[in-house]
């Protein structure tokens, strides 16, 4: 199967994931704390249902593919093709009713990324790329993604993961950055990356080792 066909399949996975998630959104699902050393690390029925839906489709259509999933671990990771799944990136935002979470789906071929997709089913927005081209979809319109020009740091808008406040050193660095840019906003989860790719912000800072994009 060609990789364009697998991109089409990734869209099917995102459709299935969104269908599994949306009944739980703003419905106060039961929450379990996974007990991360970094603090409260929630997981909900929506996370598990979405990953199960994705895994079921992969098993049915590509049983020889591997899977690395946020909730149910690794399977057949030595395969040529391996899917990497985070059913809800931003579970804290999800359970707080904020629409800045998303489903992340990537595909590796022999350890190299060949496509990636971010889906926000509540907003009906989706973003994807294959390493050469990238697109965004909103209101059934598909448009190429393009970052915007930002001639200097003082012109930049920065979106920062709110969890960075837990680390005093990283938080102090971000506050210094905030004094140098036009605007700094906390929150965003994976959706900040979509806004960066679409040209609405200039810098996105995550917190999983202090990632800057």
- Rounded distance between C-alpha atoms, residue 68 and residue 105, angstroms: 10
Q: What is the pTM of this model?
A: 0.91
Q: What is the pLDDT of residue 135?
A: 97
Q: How far is CA 189 from CA 37, 160, 166, 211, in A?
A: 20, 8, 15, 12
Q: Where are the beta strands (DSSP E) in the chain?
A: 31-33, 42-44, 66-69, 73-75, 81-89, 102-109, 112-120, 125-129, 134-138, 141-144, 157-160, 183-186, 203-205
| Whole-number pLDDT of residue 210 | 45
Q: Is 70 left (phi over 0), alpha (psi -120 to 50) or beta?
A: alpha
CA angle 199, 203, 205 (to 5 degrees): 130
Q: What is the pLDDT of residue 207?
A: 66
- Rounded Cα distance between 167 and 159, Å, is 17
Residues of the chain scoring pLDDT < 50: 209-210
Distance CA 205, CA 161 (A): 6
What is the C-alpha to C-alpha distance for residues 69 and 51, in angstroms, rounded to an integer?
7
Predicted pLDDT of residue 163: 80
pLDDT score for 34: 85
Q: In the prediction, which pLDDT does 165 show?
A: 75
Contact 63, 30 (CB under 8 A): no
Distance (Å, whole) CA 51 – CA 57 = 10
What are the backbone dihedrals phi and psi of residue 87, each rounded to the nearest 5 degrees, phi first? -65, -35
């Amino acid at each position: 199967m060609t990789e364009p066909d697998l991109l089409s399949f990734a869209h099917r996975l995102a459709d299935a994931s969104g269908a599994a998630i949306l009944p739980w959104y703003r419905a106060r699902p039961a929450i379990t704390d996974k007990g991360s050393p970094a603090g409260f690390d929630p997981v909900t029925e929506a996370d598990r249902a979405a990953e199960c839906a994705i895994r079921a489709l992969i098993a049915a259509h590509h049983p020889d593919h591997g899977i690395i999933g946020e909730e149910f671990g690794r399977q057949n990771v030595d395969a040529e093709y391996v899917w990497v799944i985070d059913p809800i990136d931003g579970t804290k935002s999800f359970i707080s009713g904020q629409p800045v979470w998303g489903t992340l789906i990537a595909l590796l071929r022999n350890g190299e990324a060949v496509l990636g997709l971010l889906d926000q089913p509540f907003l009906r927005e989706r973003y994807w790329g294959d390493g050469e081209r990238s697109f965004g979809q909103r209101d059934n319109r598909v448009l190429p993604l393009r970052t915007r020009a930002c001639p200097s740091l003082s012109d930049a808008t920065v979106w920062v993961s709110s969890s960075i406040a837990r680390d005093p050193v990283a938080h102090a660095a971000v506050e210094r950055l905030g004094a140098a840019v036009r605007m700094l906003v906390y929150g965003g989860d994976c959706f900040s990356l979509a806004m960066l790719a679409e040209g609405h912000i200039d810098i996105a800072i995550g917190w999983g080792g202090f990632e800057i994009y």
